[in-house]
Amino acid sequence: MTFIPYGRHHIDADDEAAVVAVLRSAFLTQGPATQAFEADLAAYVGAKYCAVVCNGTAALHICMAAMDMGPGEGVTTPNTFVATANAMAYVGLTPVFADIDPATLNLSPTATRAALTPQTRLIAPVHFAGLPADMPAFAAMAADRDIRIVEDASHAIGSEYVGGGRVGNCRHSDATIFSFHPVKTITAGEGGAIVTNDEALYQRLQIVRSHGVTREPGLLTDNPGSWWYEQQMLGFNYRMTEMQGALGSSQLRKLERFMARRQAIVARYRQAFAGLNWLVRPPETPGQTVCQHLFVVQIDFDAIGRTRPQVMAALLDQGVGSQVHYIPVHLQPWYRETFGTAAGQQPAAERYYERCLSLPLFPAMTDADVEQVITAVRGLV
């Protein structure tokens, strides 16, 4: 029996060749491959500018740092990886959680509006599992106020918003970030990107990702000679390598293929699990292009008389890996200790967490793998 993990990358010979070509070239960092990846990504999502960095967390961090956030408050969803809220804490914002909409599993606009205070500086929706959050609603509440919007699209490259337009076009936000961790839809090994239509923000991002230093003649305040560089703000070294950039561009060329395979697997799962009254399938999105990153079901563990660890063990016995996305961030010990968050504050996210389980979903799954998962899940009862 083959073991099927909940997610994994897919690398072809041309991905390998792209990385090897860079290894044999003059640039291992700060060269043409990362610049090409930036251009490719901006063109694909339909944004004007793109800055790539070493991972998605760094993208969140420098995006908020370049926006001069903090002190103040940032509103986000509890149903995300800790990185989204951690980035707020890095820049001195207090993370404020607003509950999810159980119908979409995304940050609820109603809960977000209720969480706004005069101190709110930022809203960071996450397109959970690949389904875009309701960006026009967030844009409307940020309009006329000094509130910036950063989309965490770590799960959502390839997806389209309701009504069309690719995730990352930033029509309703200041910037959008992506992650290229191996479990994501396309990978650069590790990697991240910020896309934006705001030229001034883009210039600051380039400086902040590289120590706060610039050599750009047009941006210098002094210019005594060609050797001159200038630190204009406190920055970091979050640069992406050329090997990552080459892999990222090569993977981006396969995104449509990866997406089609993901969509086919999702359609088969949906059909196979339709009749199970103890299992809720992911939100339905008729007519909307969604590149689903995770296939998250909600299981009524009481109804089937098994706990989640027992279910995960039973699936593992059948060669099927599974995972939990996510433990609500406000329940993490550091958040409780630092910001006084507590159980009971985000009831929809907490209820969802009690029931959620991510099943395998990745483009290299064969039809036999998909059927193995379906048989294992159906066999739970």
Ligand X SMILES: Cc1ncc(COP(=O)(O)O)c(C=O)c1O
Q: How far apart are CA 86 and CA 88, in angstroms?
A: 5
Quick one: which segment of 42-50, 150-158, 252-260, 307-315 binds ligand X (CB under 6 A)?
150-158
Chain centroid to CA 2: how far?
Answer: 29
Question: Which of 81, 138, 161, 273 is in the footprint of ligand X by CB under 6 A?
Answer: 81
Q: 129 with 377: CB under 8 angstroms?
A: no
In the complex, minimum distance from the CB of residue 80 to ligand X, in angstroms, rounded to a whole number: 5
- Only one residue has tokens 């699936």, namely 315
Q: How far apart are CA 211 and CA 141, in angstroms?
A: 34
Q: Which C-beta is closer to ligand X: that of 61 or that of 204?
A: 61
By CB under 6 A, the residues from 263 to 292 that bind ligand X are none
Q: How far apart are CA 290 and CA 104, in angstroms?
A: 13
**Should residue 125 be labelled a site residue for ligand X when binding is judged by CB under 6 A?**
no
Q: How far apart are CA 155 and CA 358, in angstroms?
A: 13
Q: Give, rounded to a whole angstrom, the gap between the first and last alpha carbons of the chain.
A: 21
**Should residue 112 be labelled a site residue for ligand X when binding is judged by CB under 6 A?**
no
Residue 154 backbone phi and psi in degrees, to 5: -55, -30
Q: Which C-beta is closer to ligand X: that of 109 or that of 192?
A: 192
- Tokens for 40? 């490719």
Q: 76 with 62: CB under 8 angstroms?
A: no
Question: Which of 38, 99, 152, 242 is in the footprint of ligand X by CB under 6 A?
Answer: 152
Burial class (CB in 10 A: 0-12, 13-18, 19+), 277: exposed
Give the per-residue contact string, 17-56, with ligand X (x = CB under 6 A; - = no). Answer: --------------------------------------xx
**Should residue 210 be labelled a site residue for ligand X when binding is judged by CB under 6 A?**
no
**Should residue 126 be labelled a site residue for ligand X when binding is judged by CB under 6 A?**
yes
Give the per-residue contact string, 177-196, with ligand X (x = CB under 6 A; - = no). Answer: --x-x----------x----
Q: Which C-beta is closer to ligand X: that of 126 or that of 205?
A: 126
Q: Which of 184, 204, 293, 325 is catalytic?
A: 184
* Cα-based torsion angle of the residue sequence 231, 40, 289, 167 in order, rounded to the nearest 10 degrees: 20
**Should residue 80 be labelled a site residue for ligand X when binding is judged by CB under 6 A?**
yes
**Should residue 57 be labelled a site residue for ligand X when binding is judged by CB under 6 A?**
yes
Quick one: which segment of 42-50, 152-160, 167-175, 193-201 binds ligand X (CB under 6 A)?
152-160
Q: Which C-beta is closer to ligand X: that of 108 or that of 372?
A: 108
Q: How far apart are CA 243 and CA 156, in angstroms?
A: 23
Q: How far apart are CA 6 and CA 42, in angstroms?
A: 29
Quick one: which segment of 79-87, 216-224, 312-320, 337-345 binds ligand X (CB under 6 A)?
79-87
**Should residue 83 be labelled a site residue for ligand X when binding is judged by CB under 6 A?**
yes
The answer to whether residue 254 is catalytic is no
Burial class (CB in 10 A: 0-12, 13-18, 19+), 305: exposed
In the complex, minimum distance from the CB of residue 126 to ligand X, in angstroms, rounded to a whole number: 5
Quick one: which segment of 43-51, 80-88, 143-151, 234-242 binds ligand X (CB under 6 A)?
80-88
In the complex, minimum distance from the CB of residue 119 to ligand X, in angstroms, rounded to a whole number: 23
**Should residue 173 be labelled a site residue for ligand X when binding is judged by CB under 6 A?**
no
Q: How far apart are CA 17 and CA 230, in angstroms?
A: 37
Active site residues: 184
Q: Which residues bind ligand X (CB under 6 A)?
A: 55-57, 80-81, 83-84, 126, 152, 154-155, 179, 181, 192
